Amino acid sequence: QVQLVESGGGLVQAGGSLRLSCAASGRTFSGGTMGWFRQAPGKEREFVAAIRWSGTYYADSVKGRFTISRDNAKNTVYLQMNSLKFEDTAVYYCAARISGTGSTGRLSQSIEYDYWGQGTQVTVSS
């Protein structure tokens, strides 16, 4: 049974940093795609970042502030979030896609991912 477990969320002041982790178990995703999405209250789930063999990909809203990385030996993906803003407040979800290929334009589509974590709350105080 595949599980994705996020950790690292919490409360931080604007301008601060947090590092989210997502540990996968049940299968390896070293050849696949790992991503982060977020959902703020009353809003749709939105793409944040993704990583696969071809590189890293970011939403415009987080580019230059967030960094996605992975440790294949630990089957874990990370999201380093710097210069946090109030509008970054959301539940952050880890997602995994078995395939590491396909159009980069579709990496931001939640339907492309096969597995999801339960989410971790990030709250940024202004």
Q: Is the pLDDT of residue 27 over 90?
A: yes
Percent of the chain with pLDDT over 90: 90
> Given a cut of 90, is residue 78 above it in pLDDT?
yes
Q: Examine the pLDDT at 81 and tell me if it is beyond 90.
A: yes
Amino acid at 46: E
Helix (H) or strand (E) holding 47: strand 46-52
How many angstroms separate the CA atoms of 84 and 103, rounded?
Answer: 29
pLDDT confidence of residue 126 = 87
Averaged pLDDT, 46-60:
96
Return d(Cα 65, Cα 18) in angstroms, integer. 11
Please tell me the predicted confidence (pLDDT) of residue 90.
98
Mean pLDDT over all residues of the chain?
96
Position 124, amino acid: V
Q: Give me 115's structure tokens.
A: 């597995």
Q: What is the mean pLDDT of residues 50-77?
A: 96
Q: Distance of alpha carbon 60 from its chain centroid, rounded? A: 14
User: What does the pLDDT read at residue 101?
Assistant: 86
Quick one: pLDDT band at residue 42, thresholds 50, 70, 90? Answer: very high
Strands (E), 26-104: 33-39, 46-52, 55-58, 66-71, 76-81, 90-97
Residues 6+ apart with CB under 8 A from 115: 2, 4, 24, 95, 96
Place of tokens 């407040």: 89
